[in-house]
């Protein structure tokens, strides 16, 4: 029998869609064993407008109360923190990645030539769930990276339908 490479995907990639989704839609889909939640390109406000916020101007620098626009950042939280703070994400879309363990610091969707190559690497790294919601109250893409997790997600959210 041929040995499996550590670089092989651990299971089949399953893709679903969830209509009329919002940030709260992801909570029942988060697997209890997935302790790490990473949000990519989070916008604290969906509007492109100037607003006042206290932000650091450099790493380690003090927060400065300034007018800002188009603020975007990546976040890494525990599953518990994300669920506790879910109301603060409700107005926005999101790209959320859940994993059971740490992921490489430079892992980012922008660094891949296609969504498929990003998903392939996520599967190799043991990611559990990818939730892609362009804007609140739109159709979300839900990707899971194992047959077992797919069964669990399907039993948790009956509104999921297969993506073609």
How does residue 8 score in pLDDT terms, banded at 50, 70 and 90? Answer: very low
Identify the helix (H) or strand (E) that includes residue 150. helix 147-156
Q: What is the pTM of this model?
A: 0.86
Over residues 48-71, mean pLDDT: 95
How do residues 86-105 score in pLDDT, each as one tens digit? 999 988 899 999 999 999 99
Identify the helix (H) or strand (E) that includes residue 16. strand 14-21
Could you tell me if 27 and 34 are in contact, meaning their C-beta atoms sit under 8 angstroms apart?
Answer: no
Pairwise CA distance, residues 84 & 81, whole Å: 5
How does residue 2 score in pLDDT terms, banded at 50, 70 and 90? Answer: very low
How does residue 62 score in pLDDT terms, banded at 50, 70 and 90? Answer: very high
Q: Where are the domains of the chain?
A: 14-162
How does residue 164 score in pLDDT terms, banded at 50, 70 and 90? Answer: low
11 pLDDT above the threshold of 70: no
């Amino acid at each position: 029998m041929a040995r499996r490479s550590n670089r092989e995907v651990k299971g089949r990639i399953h893709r679903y869609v969830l209509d009329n989704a919002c940030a709260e839609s992801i909570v029942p889909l988060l697997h209890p064993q997935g302790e790490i939640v990473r949000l990519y390109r989070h916008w604290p406000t969906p509007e492109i407008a100037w607003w006042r916020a206290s932000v650091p101007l450099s790493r380690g620098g003090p927060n400065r109360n300034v007018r800002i626009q188009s603020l975007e950042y990546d976040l890494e939280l525990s599953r518990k923190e994300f669920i506790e703070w879910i109301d603060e994400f409700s107005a926005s879309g999101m790209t959320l990645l859940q994993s059971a363990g740490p992921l490489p610091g430079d892992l980012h969707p922008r660094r891949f030539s296609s969504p498929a190559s990003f998903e392939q690497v996520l599967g190799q790294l043991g990611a559990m769930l990818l939730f892609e919601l362009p804007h609140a109250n739109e159709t979300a893409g839900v990707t899971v990276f194992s047959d077992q997790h797919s069964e669990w997600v399907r039993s948790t959210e009956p509104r999921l339908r297969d993506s073609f």
